[in-house]
Amino acid sequence: NHDDPFLQVQADVLSALNTSRPLFASYLRIRSSASSATSPELREARSELEQQLQDLGQDLEDLIESVKAVEHDPYRFGLEIDEVERRRRLVKDVGDEVQNMRGELLRAVNDAQTKGKGVVNGDVLPDPASFEEDEYAAFEQERQQELMHEQDEALDGVFKTVGNLRQQADDMGRELEEQGELLNDVDNVADRVGGKLQTGLKKMGYVIKKNEDRWSSCCIGVLIFVLILLLVLLLVL
């Protein structure tokens, strides 16, 4: 069904996911070769990937909402159980891949890298930038945790909304059932009243017919009497 909103959002999600994958690969490559977490190139790659994942997460929320809305009664929406299961797997797979990308964003630049660091007597001297890296890594980790927390809250809101809609649908279903029962009762009463009316009309017709037969007999008797009387008068006169 081309009008199915899930299929439309699904196309957007898959397109966004295909865009995110090369950005993610590029970020990993830059991170592996970066000597500092404050590298402009690394920051740019991180920012671009974060924005892409944020947009992808919003579309993914729409997919989750769509699946929740149809999974309790798929036949009502013209869907088969297999199609609902496919949609669930799609949402889970995309969600896992997005979660993996976000997990990589939480990781700081590998501390074992020694680019730009001096070596004295075989010991690696601390890089002055490492102090800034630690602060930046902590900041980025806190930022990612906040983003994930916001997404969790948004998903909770979606689930609550779907739950409310489901409750409203159940209430409407019960009201329709009650109204259907009332209509059935009205139909039964109407049938009984109609039957009684039919019986009354039949009885009334029978009485009228009997009365008509009785009056006809009386009229015929009177006419016969009059004719006999006239004949007698004619004979006498």
pLDDT for 197-226, tens place per residue? 677 667 766 766 666 666 777 777 788 888
Q: Which helix (H) or strand (E) holds 188?
A: helix 128-236
User: According to the model, what pLDDT value does residue 162 have?
Assistant: 62
pTM score > 0.95 for this model?
Answer: no
Give the model's confidence band at 92: pLDDT under 50 very low, under 70 low, under 90 confident, else very high: very high
Give the model's confidence band at 187: pLDDT under 50 very low, under 70 low, under 90 confident, else very high: confident
What's the token pair of residue 44?
A: 């740019």
What's the token pair of residue 216?
A: 């006809």
Q: What is the tally of helices (H) and strands (E) in the chain?
A: 4, 2
User: According to the model, what pLDDT value does residue 202 have?
Assistant: 75
CA angle 69, 73, 77 (to 5 degrees): 75
List the beta bridge partners of residue 119: 124
pLDDT of residue 118 exceeding 50, the answer is no
Mean pLDDT in the chain? 76
| pLDDT-above-90 percentage for the chain | 16
